[in-house]
Structure 1
């Protein structure tokens, strides 16, 4: 999906592809305006540094000459220069943070929308467990929550840093060239070699050597940062899984098995982090030495001209200041290598996420899901497992108004895959499925959001669409009378309720909304036979009153009494195109 070691050009293209949508979006004028203001403030900050550099010469010459009048004049001038510089820096910081905030809000909204659109969140999670799909993005939640924040932060700060370094270099290299004069170097065979602007060449050599060494030391950080984000997310994801399945794990005494798994993942996090900080330590050793040496290096190089009387103290300090600015500009890579490593790793992760979202969105080739009134109609459908094994081939099914159909067959025959295909969410299906608009589904594991019971019951619609009496009646009809007076109670209903109560709450949701067509996958497997019979009698009556039909997947033979027709999945002979066929009776 992505290059193992993408080139600089590839990384820049990825950054551009991730950046461009925001600056072309409906917020483009605000975004471009903020960016332009930040650029102007960066240019203003460099201009103020040039003025302060000139101030060094006048101020220190006044000290050397013991000129008290000029000294106090320059103190006053410095106060004004410092005040203007502070204002520029404060607003540069504020507008930079504001741009990062607005950009992150937009990108989060953009990616959350795309992740939820076209069932991409479901297909991505399903595809991750497909053989040969190890390159699909892990932990989309982390990429949206953390990586987007890092990307917007580093893109703005580092790109402005590059701009600031370039403008500072252009502004101060001329000053340094003029101030440094020429250096005469005696040659071994007699004669001399005059080096014009020698301080500029000294700065270039100093920084090129430093940048090369920093790149050599810090290069592993790109890979290590990428792995660190992935391993941290995996560790967090595993703990979330334990929380979600806490009851099952507790009943199995699974904490003894889960602890080694958590320890293993945390050990991987710490081992990679240890490798990262060791590399950062090496880079910090060098960058600290490099930065401290830069303080005295220009003074050493310029000292001969000062002691010869060619320049005064003011010019020496001005040279030192200008050299420092040129050195900072040329050493930008050294000073920001760790940040660049995080930026690149984050860009690679988001590019992979973007690629996967693009691959999952849109129509699926060979499959068509449409809305049609009056019946459930599936024509020529073929269903595969993620690994490629075909379960059903060229199957045509029809459910007319008033029909109640029971789907049964051996475990692994594809009953749930058929259910997902009829729902239009199974990505490994071909053919055409037409469903009435007024259709609901009850999966094996219904979802209930944390919060008020009324919100869990009305999900995914707003609870305000239904009156309290309708909500209570739905709970009564689903054999949950003890919850009828708890509509405003907030709780984690998916964890709080028993398996049977969760299934009855899912049924209550159906009875509340009264769809004409219903597809249920093991919707009452946790109920006793008496409760199941009552629930199914009410479901059948509800869909028939609405002029629709019911399709149920179940193993219990007792449900046959509530269904007129059967779809039985039978094994096909060995060598057939599919593993099973559907017998309609």
Structure 2
């Protein structure tokens, strides 16, 4: 890769990092954020100034030791005590305010990203479109990790690395003059001509750190991609563990433990393989940086020793030179010190910028114009549906449902019945056309969701349970043939796992009886029920929509369900598959 291309990529990375960082400091919390940042910067400047005073103290203290000047020795001990007290106060509050900024920044970014992720069904759209519409390196895998872990790492490392960089710059500016003045001139003969290099120790420190920085990047350059890959593989392993927990009953019934064990072993092997490469890369980097710092601890003494032994400088001046050299060398070694952290921070930032790009892509306005109606009926015109693979499912379809209608939607598996329902609900992103949906509508999905909460909260979801009185909640359960749950309204449990498939479907229907919508769209809502229970509940659904002057549209394969519907829509293979895979026949 050419140097210009690397520079362009680095510039793009900085722009994206700035775009991630800036919103918090322009948000509703901007004054608190800016005040904290200004305070931390001020404390860091004060911290560096105390180091300058300590450097000056070195000369007076060691000169007093060399000259055996006891009064000056005591005076410098007192001065050290005062400086140490100031140093400790600054260090404590620098730590405290830095932690405050990090947690406040993380809290704001977490709320910001959770709101955007949940807004406009972005969380749902990402799962559908991540492989079809985004570049592979922008695939928004494991958004839970991005929000929980990556935001934490980003805010923590951005604050710490930027403050350490500020310290390094200010330290260099503060000590470069001191080291220049203390270094004196280095003279040597070349071809009979005498040359003098002023500030020799400063140039040595700069050259020493420049060589170390280049070699550090050469040794540790593999850490960035390895850190990125490690985070991805760890998230993938954790995600599969969660899936085993969520589908524990199905896995147990299938006796799938051996397969899941193999899958988990495979994913952990990927984690382990990458981690071993990461350890190997860190080992090489640690070997180099340890050698670099061990050499730097005696290097200034070796360079300054000839002047000390010649009597040109005293012990105090030599210690001050060594201290100033160490400070300059430390400031110039910021890149070397933080290379491992920079690699991890770069990987985290890349993951967040890809997540940001995915959210922006998934938040683009849909081509489907969806609006609430006045209750007169469902109107659909020019509706086209696409699959995430890019193929067209339906093309330019028109539909109409009037009050009093009862319609059964049929078709072979995979023909797009549920996808059509999603488009009618306005959540399918790969759709175009126009849909007018009656306001009092409710969709019953194949796999209803129930939060791990009290039964009353699960029943009223997503509304607050307080919107309904006790008797209304109990009556909804009775109507859904769940009298055994009437006394468990305040029991907190994982209802989605505790109840059987049939009970979950009846609980979903209890929501319908609780909220009493006029228009119902049921997707295999009774497929797990026995025929008698199915007949009883469908009669109640029909009575409900008739009472509300609405209609019902159902997806079902059973003939018993068909008996409750007056009209049938059938998805059939299209005669011209170049236009669409299926076409809708209405009868």
* TM-score (norm: length of structure 2): 0.97
Structure 2 residue corresponding to 1:342, chosen from 326, 341, 344: 344
Structure 2 residue corresponding to 1:535, chosen from 534, 537, 547: 537
CA RMSD across the alignment: 1.4
Counterpart secondary structure, 1:311: coil
Question: Are 1:36 and 2:38 matched, yes or no?
Answer: yes
> How does 1:99-178 map onto structure 2 within 5 Å?
99-128=101-130, 130=132, 134-135=136-137, 136-178=139-181
Question: Are 1:562 and 2:564 matched, yes or no?
Answer: yes
Render the CA deviation track for 1:87-110: whole Å, top value 9, x for unaligned: 011111111110000000000000
Instruction: Answer whether contact 2:185 2:197 (CA < 8 A) is retained.
Output: yes
How far did residue 248 of structure 1 move? Answer: 1.1
Render the CA deviation track for 1:168-211: whole Å, top value 9, x for unaligned: 00000100000011111232x22322110000011011101111
Counterpart secondary structure, 1:397: strand
How far did residue 570 of structure 1 move? Answer: 2.1
The aligned counterpart of 1:517 is 519
Render the CA deviation track for 1:303-341: whole Å, top value 9, x for unaligned: 111111111111101001100000000011111000000
Instruction: Answer whether contact 2:130 2:358 (CA < 8 A) is retained.
Output: no
> How does 1:377-416 map onto structure 2 within 5 Å?
377-416=379-418
The aligned counterpart of 2:232 is 230
Instruction: Answer whether contact 2:501 2:528 (CA < 8 A) is retained.
Output: yes
Q: Which runs of 5+ in 2 are unaligned?
A: none
Distance in 2, Cα, partners of 1:321 & 1:449: 61
Render the CA deviation track for 1:338-360: whole Å, top value 9, x for unaligned: 00001100110000000000011
The aligned counterpart of 2:439 is 437
How far did residue 575 of structure 1 move? Answer: 4.5
Counterpart secondary structure, 1:484: helix
Structure 1 residue corresponding to 2:270, chosen from 251, 262, 268: 268
Counterpart secondary structure, 1:488: coil
Question: Are 1:372 and 2:387 matched, yes or no?
Answer: no
Distance in 2, Cα, partners of 1:322 & 1:428: 64
Q: 1:452 to 1:156 in 2, by over 3 A?
A: same
The aligned counterpart of 1:309 is 311
Instruction: Answer whether contact 1:131 1:387 (CA < 8 A) is retained.
Output: no
Counterpart secondary structure, 2:563: helix
The aligned counterpart of 1:419 is 421
Distance in 1, Cα, partners of 2:174 & 2:134: 54
Distance in 2, Cα, partners of 1:427 & 1:455: 29
Bigger shift: residues 133-142 or 227-236:
133-142
Distance in 2, Cα, partners of 1:5 & 1:397: 55
Distance in 2, Cα, partners of 1:101 & 1:169: 30
Question: Are 1:258 and 2:260 matched, yes or no?
Answer: yes
The aligned counterpart of 2:207 is 205
Distance in 2, Cα, partners of 1:205 & 1:147: 36
The aligned counterpart of 2:493 is 491
How far did residue 133 of structure 1 move? Answer: 5.8
The aligned counterpart of 1:186 is 189
Counterpart secondary structure, 1:518: strand
How far did residue 80 of structure 1 move? Answer: 0.3
Q: 1:556 to 1:347 in 2, by over 3 A?
A: same
How far did residue 373 of structure 1 move? Answer: 1.2
Counterpart secondary structure, 2:28: coil
The aligned counterpart of 2:83 is 81
Counterpart secondary structure, 1:405: strand
Instruction: Answer whether contact 2:134 2:358 (CA < 8 A) is retained.
Output: no
Render the CA deviation track for 1:205-246: whole Å, top value 9, x for unaligned: 110111111111111000000000000000000111111111
Distance in 2, Cα, partners of 1:299 & 1:368: 76
Counterpart secondary structure, 1:115: helix
Render the CA deviation track for 1:522-553: whole Å, top value 9, x for unaligned: 00000011100111111111122122111111
Counterpart secondary structure, 2:229: helix
Q: 1:181 to 1:28 in 2, by over 3 A?
A: same
How far did residue 455 of structure 1 move? Answer: 0.9
How far did residue 134 of structure 1 move? Answer: 3.6
Distance in 2, Cα, partners of 1:195 & 1:464: 82
The aligned counterpart of 1:51 is 53
Distance in 2, Cα, partners of 1:6 & 1:532: 64
Distance in 1, Cα, partners of 2:529 & 2:17: 54
Aligned length: 581
Instruction: Answer whether contact 1:422 1:433 (CA < 8 A) is retained.
Output: yes
